[in-house]
Structure 1
Amino acid sequence: MNIRNRVAGLLACLGVLSVSGTGAANAADAPAFPTKPVSIVVPYAAGGATDIIARLIGKRLGEVWKQPVVVVNKPGAGTVLGAGFVAKSPGDGYTLYMTTAAHTISSSLYRSLPYDPVKDFAPINLSAIVPLVLVVGPTVPAKDLPELLAYARSHPGATYASPGNGSPQHLAGALFKSKAGLELTHVPYKGDAPMLSDLMGGQVQMAFVTLSSALPHIKSGKLRAIALAHSKRSPTLPSVPTFTQAGLPFQAATWFGLFSPATMPPGLRQKINEDVTRIVAEPATRASIEDLGGDAVNEGPKEFSAFIDSESKRWAEAVKVSGAQVD
């Protein structure tokens, strides 16, 4: 009896050792991430909203991952330079990509691209949306949308500015012009700064501007906000109605989302999304996004993919209406 019990006990111990050894082997087989610095590529110059949000999330990811997360600015060719670099990078998690609505515009805007905006990228997290606001400069007397429409109809050829051909701001203006039946002249600039300078100086009459860029100038009284191209009012500008509330159903916004190269394994993509989701949900992160005039969205790969599909269709219509095309 004693011998039988000892044998059973020995077999049980061996079984435990075997199971624990298998578990250790499986843990060893699962690669740790990250084990070295991670880069977040931003296809714009430092200082803009995309750069600010990438650095905000990257700083917290570095603290969570115990590895440096470095923002790499690769501006040029309307985000094509940065996107092309990421599309050709390994999908090992060490090269991520924070971009905007320009990503869903590019397939309709450019005759040819060195990458496919959908097939070559894997959506990870839709972090924030910043709506566009229609503003007028000091030479336009309109205080609300009906007054602006009346002004534009009595001044055919009135100008609307944008930070560049094919930008979300340009395409929002083209859609507004089409939906309202206006004769407006588009004046493209090379970036927000010169556009805003001329708008406040009265050289151009109106523009769609990201709320984050327009907010300080609206609050100082140098620009007048007419309507928000969003589904709801912004708490930072509670007195400014949405276009729908003002009588012209219309939405246009830019968004900020994190991507990886398409070759990233689904498990790693989900892990990164979970970490980013926790960070965007933090009160301090949400407050920082709201200070930019944005909404913290925090949607994962499945929801973000569906959002990209709908955005691609929305901006394809805008590109067609605008007639914009880049070779």
Structure 2
Amino acid sequence: MTIARRAFGLLASAALLPGLARAQGGYPNRPVRMVVPYPPGGATDVIARMIGEKLTPQWGQPVVVENRAGAGATLGAEVVARAEADGYTLFETTSAHTISKSLYRHLSYDPIRDFTAITLTAIVPLVLVTTKRVPATDLPGFVAWAKAQGHGITFGSTGNGTAQHLTSELFKLKAGITSEHVPYRGDAPLNTDVLGGLVDASFSTLSAVLPYIKSGEMKAIALAHGRRMDAIPNVPTFAEAGLADFEAATWFGTFAPAGLSNELREKIARDISAIVAEPAFTQRLVEMGGDVTNYPPARFDQFIAAETARWAEAVRVSGATIN
């Protein structure tokens, strides 16, 4: 190569550098907010803060968690749907996001069209737990006991239209039992009444009831997941217990407003996925009862489509609706 051609090549490369710098190093150049549609202290909030604490030094900018709780996670979602699609507003949410499309008659946003799916961090399956006073220890025994109760049994949940509520309604139909739904405002009061025997059973997120299962204060009957979980290896899946094709879970995933560039989408997904893949981070999620997925954007899109269809059917069957 001649000196002239080499010099021309260097000049051409130099001309490209500002664009490359903007693409690779320009974002973020100011604080990023991560909206969580739940109060502080819950699993979604904890995971968002874990991710934010790791992203802050990596990005050189604060990642600030903003809790916008209320209305079944729709208040926080509305904030994000109206934000600029510039990467400076992210959304850490759960299965409530895909349920809302079918559950709410009047939303000011579309849970699918108005968001960009970035990465799915983990799935936390639901587990059927009962109070200790229920004599059953396995799924056939639980169903037989429930059918023997002339007045039916009670299922608690974390609220009308939640994954926990809809799953209990689907189970009632599949198992052929009679039950009454008792909604609570979150995991804490629900767990208190299951422990106290004021409700018979619940479909709860594994992370919310794992300490009580391990201590023996609650009975775990079956796991609504495709495989057993390391956190409770002795608890069978519903398929293993005799009820095929019965899976339900909440999950933790990151979104942005619709219109986020593919470049930013891929960058944010890569950076979060690298954090989740760190052994200590993965172990923390496993300890919380999570099945670590770490899906990239395209696979997360497929997952969202499947979840939306799954919960639409659950809402239809249950008849649940919120105006």
Determine the structure 2 residue equivalent to 1:301: 297
SS at 1:264's partner residue? Answer: coil
> How far apart, in 2, do the equivalents of 1:274 and 1:9 lie?
40
Larger Rg: 1
State whether structure 2 residue 75 is matched by structure 1 residue 108.
no
The match for 1:240 is 235
Aligned residue pairs, count: 320
CA distance in 2 between counterparts of 1:208 and 1:72 reads 28
Residue 144 of structure 2 is aligned to residue 150 of structure 1: yes
Q: Distance in 1 between matches of 2:207 and 2:98?
A: 21
Determine helix, strand or coil for the equivalent of 2:268. Answer: helix
For the residue of structure 1 that corresponds to 2:285, the secondary structure is helix
Unaligned runs of 5+ in 2: none
Cα distance, 1:23 vs. partner?
Answer: 2.1
1:25 Cα shift?
Answer: 4.0
Give 1:206-285 correspondences, 5 Å limit: 206-249=201-244, 250-285=246-281
1:24 paired residue among 17, 24, 31: 17
Q: Tell me how far apart the structure 2 counterparts of residues 242 and 29 of structure 1 sit (CA, whole Å).
A: 49
User: 1:101/1:222 Cα in 2 relative to 1: closer, same or farther (>3 Å)?
Assistant: same
**1:321 equivalent in structure 2:** 317
Structure 1: how far apart are the matches of 2:33 and 2:91? 8
Say if 1:315 and 1:13 are closer, same or farther in 2 by CA, change over 3 A.
closer
1:191 to 166, 176, 186: 186
- The 2-side partners of 1:214 and 1:25 are apart by 52
Q: Which moved more, 1:100-109 or 1:53-62?
A: 53-62
For residues 94 and 319 of structure 2, the distance between their equivalents in structure 1, rounded to whole angstroms, comes to 21
Displacement of 1:37 in angstroms is: 1.1
**CA offsets 1:247-276 (integer angstroms, 9 cap, x no match):** 011100101100000121111110111111
Amino acid at match of 1:23: L
What TM-score, normalized by structure 1, do the two folds share? 0.94
* Cα distance in structure 1, aligned partners of 2:3 and 2:155: 83
12 and 164 in structure 1: CA distance in 2 versus 1, 3 angstrom threshold: same
Match of 2:39 in 1: 45
CA pair 14-55 structure 1, distance change in 2 beyond 3 A: same
Residue 80 (structure 2) aligns with: 86
Kindly provide the amino acid, as one letter, of the partner of residue 126 in structure 1: L
TM-score (norm 2): 0.96
Q: Distance in 2 between matches of 1:152 and 1:178?
A: 13
The separation in 2 between residues aligned to 1:94 and 1:112, in whole angstroms, is 27
Identity of aligned residues (%): 53
